Amino acid sequence: MLGIRPAPGPTGRGVAAAYLGLGTATVGFGSAGVGSAQPADPVAPPYQDSTYLMVSHQSHMSEMISGSRAVLAGECPAVRAIGAMLVADHTRLDAMSAAVALPNGVPLPLTPNAEQSQQMWDTGMRRTER
């Protein structure tokens, strides 16, 4: 996962710990003339990393939508609480992923994928008549 860097600014311990836990290292070789030090251009992430970031973003969106539906339509207080937890947790996780994806030029989809959308449609919470 060389070349991928989280966005600058406050990232929180979780992002730093996750990034450091990857065990990546950068070693520079070569020669540079005096005064020629330039910041390195961002390196495009490997295909599997870009794919992971895009797919996980879609999954997070799907979970946030499902959680919102549980909060709004759930009849049981525990279901509404779980829905709120899904929204909060996946919002936080998605922000962490975006902090890596966007500065590295990984485009994030605007909607869940077709299968996720269909599943949400098929399992939509509906109020039942009693």
The string of pLDDT tens digits covering residues 36-83 is 555 566 667 899 999 999 999 999 999 999 999 999 999 999 999 999
Q: How many CB atoms lie within 10 A of CB 129?
A: 3
For 4-16, write each residue's pLDDT tens digit: 455 444 444 343 3
Domain residue ranges in the chain: 47-123
What's the confidence (pLDDT) of residue 59?
93
Dist. CA 118–CA 4, nearest whole Å:
33
